[in-house]
Chain A
Amino acid sequence: MAQSTTHTLPPPFNSSSTTPKPPLITQGAEALLYKTTYLTPSTPIALKHRPKKSYRHPTLDTRLTKARILAEARVLVKCKREGVVVPAVLGADWEEGWLACEWIEGKTIRAALDGYLKRDVGEEADLRGEGVRGLMGRIGVVLAKLHGIGVVHGDLTTSNLMVRQLEREGDGLESLSLGENREKGLEGEVVIIDFGLATQSVQDEDRAVDLYVLERAFGSTHPQAEGLFEEVLRVYGESYKGAKVVLRRLEDVRLRGRKKSMIG
Chain B
Amino acid sequence: MSAGSELKLPHLEAYPVHVSLFQDVTNAEFLKRQLLEGNAEYEYAFLDATTIISVNHVLAAVFRAINDSIHNRLKSRNVHSEIVFSLSPNNNIAESFRRFGVSDTTNTLLAIKVLNAPNSAVTRLDPASHLGSCVEGNRIEFSDENLKHSADLPRIRKIYKLNSSDNSKSKGKSAKSESTTNGVHNEAHELKEMEAVILGIMALKGS
Contacts and interface: CB of A to CB of B under 8 A. Distances in A.
Nearest to B193: A80
A91 B197 contact: no
Interface residues of B, number: 37
A102 B203 CA distance: 13
A37 B55 CA distance: 15
B207 interface: yes
A15 B179 CA distance: 39
A39 B63 contact: yes
Given A12-B70, A39-B63, A95-B71, A80 B168 contact: no
A130 interface: no
Given A77-B201, A90-B199, A239-B174, A70 B207 contact: yes
A41 B9 CA distance: 7
B10 A73 contact: no
Interface string B58-91: 0110011001001100000000000000000000
Interface string B1-44: 00000001111111000000000000000000000000000000
A73 B205 CA distance: 11
B60 A39 contact: yes
Contacts of B13: 16-19
A39 B56 contact: yes
B11 A19 contact: yes
B199 A88 contact: yes
A240 B203 contact: no
B162 A83 contact: no
Given A16-B10, A18-B13, A239-B174, A73 B200 contact: yes
Interface residues of A, number: 44
B178 interface: yes
B171 interface: yes
B159 interface: no
B175 interface: yes
A89 B203 contact: yes
Contacts of B177: 83, 85
Interface string B167-181: 011011011011100
Nearest to A92: B203
Interface string B184-207: 000000000101110111011001
B120 interface: no
Given A18-B8, A88-B200, A93 B171 contact: no
Given A12-B11, A37-B10, A91 B64 contact: yes
A90 B203 contact: yes
A149 B168 CA distance: 11
B143 interface: no
B178 to A, nearest CB: 7
19 contacts: A18-B8, A38-B11, A39-B59, A40-B9, A40-B59, A70-B204, A77-B197, A80-B193, A81-B163, A83-B168, A91-B63, A93-B67, A96-B71, A141-B174, A144-B174, A145-B174, A189-B178, A238-B174, A240-B174
- What are the 5 closest A-B residue pairs judged by CB atoms, nearest first? A88-B196, A77-B200, A89-B200, A239-B174, A39-B59
Interface of A: 11-13, 15-19, 36-41, 43, 70, 73-74, 76-77, 80-83, 85, 88-96, 100, 102, 141, 144-145, 148, 189, 238-240
